[in-house]
Structure 1
Amino acid sequence: MLGLILFIALMGLTFGNRGYQTWPERFVKDTVSWVQGMIYKPVGYIAGLFEDIRGFRTVYEENQVLRQTVTKYARDTTLLNDLLEKNKRLEEALAFTERQKQMNKYNFRIAEVVDYKQAQKMVTINLGEKDGIRANMAVVSVAGLVGRIVSVSNFYADVQLITGIDDKASVEADAGSGVFSKAIALTVKGKENKSFGVLETVDADTGLLLMTKIEPGDDIQPGDTVITSGKGLVFPYGIEVGKVVEKRQGDFGITYVATIEPFASFTHLREVFVVDVPEAK
């Protein structure tokens, strides 16, 4: 009977809605809460550290992907710009050849410049004997006269630029080809029957071309467009060379000299044309 009474009293103490706790209960609760707090804080720090490490790893991987994406985008952008620039040049080249075909019955073989020999003032193009290229064929750009072929291999050819027309390397190239054609016979566009001169040297100070042997009565004037006269054995008629900048008396006062600014750029040549003049039938 005593045990039953104690059991009922214990149940009343346990399930009752008491608003207070006994001191043993408070002691046990405070002790357990303090121990839990001491354990939870370092465990939380460690868990947070691992979470931060995982976050750093994720950010690093995302940065790597972004870096690769940016690099690929930059490479693709550069390639696209190169293709757009080349497409523009080829469109200009096509328009140039169409205009030239209407003016003269010449064939124009497009070639890429693969090497620039600055010391010799020569360039190498990717056309050779297998393409029907021969020594002394004229070479032009969209802008104007560039030079002539001086040596040919199976797949490549060397072009002497007109800016090196009076260089020692030019003379040696002429001797190697067996044909000395250093000078270029010129005339003025629209005044073909009234004007004549010879391009055989370059002003060393300015890099401009010098047209010599101009007769006193010649009507050549600054601003005129100078073209090849076709009277030489190399350059056909009608290829634009440049614009007259100045006309002055020669060294002996007998003939005149005209300073010519070339139309073609010789420092950024990418594509050029080899002029193939069909043989007369």
Structure 2
Amino acid sequence: MPQFFLNKRLIILLVSIIVLVALIGFSLRERSNLTWPEQFLKDTTGWVQSLVSKPAHYLAGFFENLQDLQNTYEENKELKSRVEKIASLEAEVQELKKDNKDLREVLDETRTLRDFEPLPATVIGRNPDRWHEMIIIDKGKSNGIKKNMAVVTSSGLIGKVKSVTQFSSTVQLLSAMDPKNRISAVIQGETEVFGFVQGFDDKQKLLLVKAIPSGAKIEKDQAVITSGLGGVFPKGLTIGKVVEVKPDQYGLNQTALVKPGADFYDIENVIVIKRLMTQPEKGALKDGKEEEL
């Protein structure tokens, strides 16, 4: 009798294994419709997952909102401190402007190297083969445009007027690989450091400010502007910010890599800068080889 039950259990086990393998094979087959047990199991599993996932997502979202609230609080606190500083700086700037104006009236000197007249213009042409070198604008001699005038966008200096016709002008960009294109610049800081924007690193998309004294201390993110000493450009036009400083190939001077403030790739509207300060006589600032602005 025990032998009979033992054989019966073995037979049931073998049959169960065969049925299980058959069901697995059947379920792995590509089918367009599921059987009702599979549908029931799938629906039940989906319902349980939904029941568990909704509270989990709610808790996760709750903690995320708490983190966002904390971040917003910290950002708001920092922005408030900045606003307070800006208000203080604005008051100081207004006071300095008033003092500067009063002093100039006393000295009967009303113009500075920063004074200029803006002449708005639109880009009307750009050669794909010289995309990073030249643009053509819709203003020319009839609008008072002259050679070597600075050209800027709302973000900063982009170049200078290279040639002028009666109704249009060609502008040479700072990203042009022209070693003769030099612009007198100053790196702002506790002590102003002078140099020349001369060259463009095409790989890093950075301007090269050369002829910086080897002993000058320059830090990252210091602002670079035009010096106004070149004779044509007014002082204070934004050029960019310092990214890195390295010695030149001879070790006598330094070269600053500067991230341009303006985007040389996408240019639609520009402003040509007409300097109001008296300009030096033509040729007075030339050394016979290169032109400085």
Fold-level similarity (TM above 0.5): yes
Query: How far has the Cα of 1:190 moved from its partner?
Result: 4.1
Matched to 1:112, the amino acid is T
Following TM superposition, by how much is the alpha carbon of 1:237 offset from its aligned partner in structure 2, in angstroms?
Answer: 1.1
- Show the counterpart of 1:188: 187
3-state secondary structure, aligned to 1:163: coil
Q: 1:197 deviation in Å?
A: 1.2
1:249 Cα deviation (Å)?
1.4
Equivalent residue in structure 2 for 1:223, among 221, 224, 227 = 221
Residues 149 and 232 of structure 2 are in contact (CA less than 8 Å); yes or no, is this contact kept in structure 1? yes
For residue 203 of structure 2, give the secondary structure of its aligned residue in structure 1.
Answer: coil
TM-superposed deviation, 1:105: 2.2
Matched, 1:271 2:283: no
Instruction: Supply the distance in 1 between the matched residues of 2:276 and 2:155 (Cα, whole angstroms).
Output: 22
In structure 2, the CA distance between the partners of 1:137 and 1:259, relative to structure 1 (3 Å rule), is same
Equivalent pairs counted in the alignment come to 167
Structure 1 contact 107–276 (Cα < 8 Å) conserved: yes
The one of 225, 228, 241 aligned to 2:239: 241
Partner of residue 121, structure 2: 111
| Paired residues of 2:113 and 2:277 also in contact (CA < 8 A) | no
CA contact (8 A) 1:228 1:241 kept: yes
Instruction: Identify the residue that residue 15 of structure 1 maps to in structure 2.
Output: none
Give the counterpart letter for 1:183 in structure 2.
R
Q: Is the 8 A contact 1:216 1:255 kept in 2?
A: yes
The residue type paired with residue 116 of structure 1 is R
CA RMSD for the aligned pairs?
2.3
Q: Does 1:155 align with 2:154?
A: no
Q: Could you say if the C-alpha distance between residues 231 and 103 of structure 1 is closer, same or farther in structure 2, counting changes exceeding 3 Å?
A: closer
Q: Which runs of 5+ in 2 are unaligned?
A: 1-111, 280-293
Is the CA contact 1:196–1:218 (under 8 Å) kept in the aligned structure 2? no
Identity of aligned residues (%): 33
Return the alpha-carbon distance in structure 2 between the equivalents of residues 211 and 132 of structure 1.
30
TM-score by length of 1: 0.55
* Deviating 4+ runs (over 3 angstroms): none
Any conservation in 1 of the 2:147–2:161 contact (CA below 8 Å)?
yes
With over 3 angstroms needed to count, the CA separation of the structure-2 counterparts of 1:160 and 1:237, relative to structure 1, is same
Q: By how many angstroms is 1:279 displaced? A: 4.2
Residues 37-62 of structure 1: CA distance to partner in whole angstroms, max 9, x if unpaired? xxxxxxxxxxxxxxxxxxxxxxxxxx
Distance in 2, matches of 1:267 and 1:204, equals: 12
2:114 & 2:234 partners in 1: Cα distance? 10
Correspondence 1:9-158 to 2 at 5 A: 104-120=114-130, 121-158=133-170
| Equivalent pair of 1:165/1:183 in contact (CA under 8 Å) | no
Matches within 5 A, 1:206-221: 206-221=204-219
TM-score by length of 2: 0.53
